[in-house]
């Protein structure tokens, strides 16, 4: 059967685009963090949507499951195949055309395999911005950011990827191609079915192309770094920023003193301001001329009201980049320190200080020598709450303690990275049964045979079983 399937896939995609050798498969079978490895039956790289549909039909008739994969930069092992050699990795990377970019209507139609950064650069040439900013944007693909509803640093202002998706083309489990590539900002003609595919992590069908909304490219950007004494003060400053620069606020990042210390020790960078328990990295961007005075007023108010301990406004693009580098090197510095136990959580802003106290106490009780590398998108209530175990072995208990504190404050155990394989057991443990039931109903409705990405986001079902 396998031989026959591979022959069929070669007929569809060409022999060069069906990979079966271990060395060729390896990059597709290992996740971005290099902690999860799978064993796929093969990797197939179709050239267009029709070929995707043919691959889907072939796999289905041979009872092989399909793992869709884009840039393979996900952080939840959502695109990594299982170990049973019965799954085909379907890589979209050959489908990377930017089909149309309309700077007046502010839309771009693009194939799933296009690299996020390439599409962003094309938009900028036309004075437009595709406002998804994340570390992996040089490798992440459009299909991937849609399928994971990617977040990043500009969610505060522009929303998650979902807010940018105007149209989708998807291939369903029976090989049907659904062409929903509409360039419309308003369309209430029936259920907005495309919403179920956004963030579905490839478990319902294969996103082969998308129409995304663009926004005007701001002409001016102002970046500032502040230090503050505690998270409560950081939130007071957040409210002040909303009141002063309003909708122009595009990033409001929190970085712990521990994180800055890690960066200073491992990345050879130096914070330009006096330390506090926490740092805030703010950015505002606008096409209007009043941005700089507003940011200056924000900072002087922050000092006058005793909110900021120290602070600096970048006076050049280079200085702004230097401030961002402090933030961008946190993950790498953590790895050099020996690695941390990562949590991508969100809680309501009003519960943030209580959550931090509760989670900190719980972790320290389990693991008295633990350190905390905490940073993230405070404006969205989303923190990367990473615990430095310093050799302790009770990772699972720490994991559960952090997530229990999250749930206790009505937060999310995965703010932006998704569930994939990585968070499935914790999702099953913490998600209310009524919501799990709705999730299974959606899977059952769209992919009743469980063809797509089994064991991601929902438990793997026995072949042919109802979900």
Q: Which residues, 199 to 228, sit near a second copy by CB under 8 A? A: 199-200, 215-219
- For a second copy, the binding residue among 1, 34, 191, 268 (CB under 8 A) is 191
- Any residues with CB less than 8 A from the CB of 104 and at least 6 apart, and which? none
Closest contact distance (angstroms) between CB of 432 and a second copy is 7
- Any residues with CB less than 8 A from the CB of 467 and at least 6 apart, and which? 440, 441, 443, 444, 448, 450, 458, 461
- For a second copy, the binding residue among 255, 417, 421, 461 (CB under 8 A) is 417
User: How, if at all, do strands 42-44 and 87-91 pair?
Assistant: parallel
Going by C-alpha positions, the residue among 285, 138, 159, 286 that lies closest to residue 213 is: 159
Closest contact distance (angstroms) between CB of 463 and a second copy is 20
Closest contact distance (angstroms) between CB of 100 and a second copy is 9
DSSP secondary structure, 89-146, as one string: EEE-TT---EEEEETTTTEEEEETTSBHHHHHHHHHHTTEE-----TTTTT-BHHHHH
CA dihedral 64, 66, 67, 71 (to 10 degrees): 130
- For a second copy, the binding residue among 35, 97, 125, 193 (CB under 8 A) is 193
In this complex, which beta carbon is closest to a second copy, that of residue 160 or of residue 363?
Answer: 160
Per-residue CA distances from 237 to 8, 231, 291, 338 (Å): 60, 10, 17, 33
In this complex, which beta carbon is closest to a second copy, that of residue 62 or of residue 183?
Answer: 183
Q: Which stretch binds a second copy (CB under 8 A): 16-24, 44-52, 135-143, 195-203?
A: 195-203
- Which stretch of DSSP H or E encloses residue 171? strand 165-171
- Count of other CB atoms within 10 angstroms of residue 399: 20
User: How, if at all, do strands 278-286 and 215-216 pair?
Assistant: unpaired
- Examine residue 375 and tell whether it contacts a second copy (CB under 8 A): no
- Examine residue 305 and tell whether it contacts a second copy (CB under 8 A): no
- Examine residue 411 and tell whether it contacts a second copy (CB under 8 A): yes
Per-residue CA distances from 431 to 415, 423, 439 (Å): 14, 11, 10
In this complex, which beta carbon is closest to a second copy, that of residue 5 or of residue 75?
Answer: 75
- For a second copy, the binding residue among 69, 244, 256, 373 (CB under 8 A) is 244
- Examine residue 239 and tell whether it contacts a second copy (CB under 8 A): yes
In this complex, which beta carbon is closest to a second copy, that of residue 40 or of residue 381?
Answer: 381
Collapsing DSSP states into helix, strand and coil, what is residue 350?
helix
Report which DSSP code applies to 249.
Answer: E
- Examine residue 291 and tell whether it contacts a second copy (CB under 8 A): yes
Interface positions, 142-171, toward a second copy (CB under 8 A): 148-149, 151, 155-156, 159-160, 162-163
Closest contact distance (angstroms) between CB of 196 and a second copy is 6
C-alpha span between 413 and 345 (Å, rounded): 5
Interface positions, 259-288, toward a second copy (CB under 8 A): 286-288
- Examine residue 460 and tell whether it contacts a second copy (CB under 8 A): no
In this complex, which beta carbon is closest to a second copy, that of residue 51 or of residue 424?
Answer: 424
- Show the binding pattern over residues 100-139: x = contacts a second copy (CB under 8 A), - = does not: --xxxxxx-------------------x------------
Tokens of 64: 């092989």
C-alpha span between 407 and 355 (Å, rounded): 10
- Examine residue 179 and tell whether it contacts a second copy (CB under 8 A): yes
In this complex, which beta carbon is closest to a second copy, that of residue 55 or of residue 458?
Answer: 458
Closest contact distance (angstroms) between CB of 77 and a second copy is 14
Per-residue CA distances from 64 to 87, 191, 193, 198, 451 (Å): 5, 31, 26, 24, 7
- For a second copy, the binding residue among 3, 23, 293, 462 (CB under 8 A) is 293
Closest contact distance (angstroms) between CB of 401 and a second copy is 17
Collapsing DSSP states into helix, strand and coil, what is residue 1?
coil
Closest contact distance (angstroms) between CB of 75 and a second copy is 11
Closest contact distance (angstroms) between CB of 369 and a second copy is 30
Interface positions, 307-366, toward a second copy (CB under 8 A): 346-350
- Examine residue 465 and tell whether it contacts a second copy (CB under 8 A): no
In this complex, which beta carbon is closest to a second copy, that of residue 122 or of residue 337?
Answer: 122
- For a second copy, the binding residue among 7, 99, 125, 185 (CB under 8 A) is 185
C-alpha span between 320 and 250 (Å, rounded): 14
Question: What number of residues does the chain have?
Answer: 467
In this complex, which beta carbon is closest to a second copy, that of residue 5 or of residue 255?
Answer: 255
């Amino acid at each position: 059967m396998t031989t026959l399937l591979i022959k069929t896939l070669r007929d569809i995609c060409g022999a060069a685009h069906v990979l079966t050798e271990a060395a060729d498969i390896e990059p597709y079978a290992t996740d971005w963090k290099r902690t999860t490895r799978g064993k796929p039956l093969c990797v197939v790289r179709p050239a267009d949507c029709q070929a995707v549909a043919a691959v889907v039909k072939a796999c289905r008739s041979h009872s092989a499951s399909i793992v869709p994969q884009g840039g393979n930069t996900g952080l939840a092992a959502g695109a990594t195949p299982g170990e049973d050699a019965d799954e085909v990795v379907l890589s979209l990377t050959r489908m990377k055309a930017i089909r149309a970019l309309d700077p007046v209507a502010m839309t771009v139609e693009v194939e799933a395999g296009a690299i996020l950064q390439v599409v962003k650069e094309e938009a900028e040439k036309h004075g437009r911005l595709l406002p998804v900013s994340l570390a992996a944007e040089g490798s992440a693909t459009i299909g991937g950011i849609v399928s994971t509803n990617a977040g990043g640093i500009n969610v505060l202002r522009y929303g998650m990827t979902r807010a940018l998706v105007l149209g989708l083309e998807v291939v369903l489990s029976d090989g049907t191609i659904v062409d929903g590539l509409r360039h419309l900002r308003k369309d209430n003609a029936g259920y907005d079915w495309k919403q179920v595919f956004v963030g579905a992590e490839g478990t319902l069908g294969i996103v082969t192309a998308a129409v995304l909304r663009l926004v005007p490219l701001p002409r001016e950007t102002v970046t500032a770094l502040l230090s503050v004494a505690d998270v409560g003060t950081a939130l007071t400053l957040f409210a002040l920023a909303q009141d002063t620069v309003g909708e122009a606020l595009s990033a409001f990042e929190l970085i712990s003193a521990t994180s800055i210390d890690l960066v200073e020790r491992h990345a050879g960078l130096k914070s330009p301001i006096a330390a506090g328990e926490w740092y805030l990295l703010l950015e505002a961007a606008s096409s209007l001329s009043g941005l700089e005075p507003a940011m200056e007023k924000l900072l002087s108010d922050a000092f006058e009201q005793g909110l900021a301990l120290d602070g600096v406004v970048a006076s050049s693009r280079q200085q702004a980049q230097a401030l961002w580098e402090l933030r961008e090197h946190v993950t790498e510095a953590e790895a050099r320190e020996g690695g941390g136990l990562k949590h991508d959580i969100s809680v309501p802003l009003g519960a943030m200080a209580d959550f931090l106290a509760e989670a900190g106490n719980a972790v320290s009780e389990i693991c008295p020598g633990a350190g905390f590398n905490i940073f993230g998108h405070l404006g969205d209530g989303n923190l990367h709450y990473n615990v430095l175990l310093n050799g302790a072995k009770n990772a699972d208990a720490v994991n559960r303690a952090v997530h229990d504190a999250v749930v206790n404050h009505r937060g999310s155990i995965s703010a932006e990275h998704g569930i994939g394989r990585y968070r499935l057991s914790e999702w099953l443990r913490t998600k209310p049964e009524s919501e799990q039931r709705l999730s299974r109903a959606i899977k059952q409705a769209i992919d009743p045979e469980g063809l797509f990405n089994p064991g991601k986001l929902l438990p793997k079902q026995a072949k042919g079983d109802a979900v």
